[in-house]
Amino acid sequence: MKRMLSFLAAAALLCAPAAVPAEDTEEIETVVTVVSAPDQTQAERPPCFPDPSDNFIQLPDTENYALHKPVTAGAHTDVYVIGNVNDGKTDTYWESKGWPAEATIDLQGTFTVSAVAVCLNPSSIWEPRTQEIAVWISADGETFTEIVPAAKYGFDAETGNRIRIDFESVDAAFVRLVFTMSTASRTGGAQAAEICVY
């Protein structure tokens, strides 16, 4: 028994210190899977998300009379000022502070108009929502006439996050959109990245 113990102890002592450096230097048998990258020269759109722009609501290809013209509104939320609605950029936007929300554009002249468009940021993170909008016009900026009564319009990134309101041609020097409702979950007011008048 004594011999056996001595043998075991010796074996253990031999094995134990040997195990530590062996771990440090041994080649670890490894089964490797390398996930290869495709040949690319630039970042691309993921193939699983086809470009939806073919489905976008088309806007008139005529002049947008509202672009960069004077525009006024009531109180706005945070930094989202009314001037963003006709700066030509859909990545800036106006957000009113409460309801109803009026945005009035001075076209700086009388034009024959037949459509307005309201655009949100086309990004799909802008959740689908409905906004209720009416269209009013004026010749002098004082007296306004409703030409399209309030109706609900759906905004969806699948169709460009934009809506188009067509109406009978009419002369106008001022165009006012009156927003009365939105179903968006994180806003307390109207939102528009661009308001266009054609």
Partner 1 sequence: MKKTLPFLIAVLVLAWMTALLPVSAGAEPAKTMLTLYEGPKTMTSSQTASVTANGYDLFVYDVMVNHEHIWNADTQPTTTPMTYFDFDGKVRLEIRMPGLEHPVENAEVIPRSWGITPEVADGTVRFTITEPGQYTVVFNGSVHRALHIFANPPETDLPDFGDPDVFYIGPGEWVMDAIALHDGQTLYLSGGAVLHSMISVANAKNVRICGRGIIDGSDYPAWNQPGSYARVPVDLNHSRDVSVEGIIIANSNCWNLNSYSSRNVRIDNVKIISGRQNGDGFTFQSCTDHLVTNCFARTWDDSLVIKNYSGSTKGITFRGMQVWTDLAQSMEIGYETDKGLTLDPEICDVLFEDITVLYNFHKPVISIHNSDDAFVHDIVYRNIVVENAFMQGDNGNNKELIEMTLANSSWSTVRDEFGSIDNVLIDGLTVLNTPDGKVPRSRLAGHDEEHRITNVTLRNVTILGQPVTTLKEMKLSVDDYCENIGIR
Interface residues with partner 1 (CB under 8 A) are: 1-2, 4-5, 8-9, 11-12, 15-16, 18-19, 22-24, 27-46, 48-49, 91-92, 122-125, 127, 157, 185-186
CB of 124 to partner 1, least distance (A): 4
Burial (CB < 10 A; 0-12, 13-18, 19+), residue 103, is: buried
Contacts of 145 (CB under 8 A, 6+ apart): 136, 137, 138
Shortest CB 42 distance to partner 1, Å: 6
* Min CB(146)–partner 1 separation in Å: 32
CB nearer to partner 1: pick between 34 and 109 = 34
The phi-psi region of residue 136 (left if phi > 0; otherwise alpha if psi is between -120 and 50; otherwise beta) is: beta
Which is nearest to 114 in space by CA: 135, 132, 134? Answer: 135
Min dist. Cβ of residue 119 to partner 1 (A): 14
Q: Which is nearer to partner 1, 21 or 109 (CB)?
A: 21
Cα–Cα distance between 58 and 69 in angstroms, integer?
22
Rounded to the nearest whole angstrom, what is the least distance from the CB of residue 43 to partner 1 in the complex? 4
DSSP structure string for 52-87: GGGGSPPPPSS--TTTT--EEES-BSTT--GGGGGS
Q: How many residues does the chain have?
A: 198
Query: Which CB sits closer to partner 1, 61 or 185?
Result: 185
Stretch (H or E) spanning 24:
helix 2-25
Residue 165: both structure tokens together: 């309101």
Closest approach, Cβ 159 to partner 1, in A, equals 13
Nearer to partner 1, 91 or 171 (CB): 91
Between residues 44 and 168, which has the closer beta carbon with respect to partner 1?
44
The continuous run of DSSP H or E covering 170 comes out as: strand 162-182
For partner 1, the closer of residues 89 and 152 by Cβ is: 89
Half-sphere exposure (CA, 13 Å, Cβ side) for 173? 10
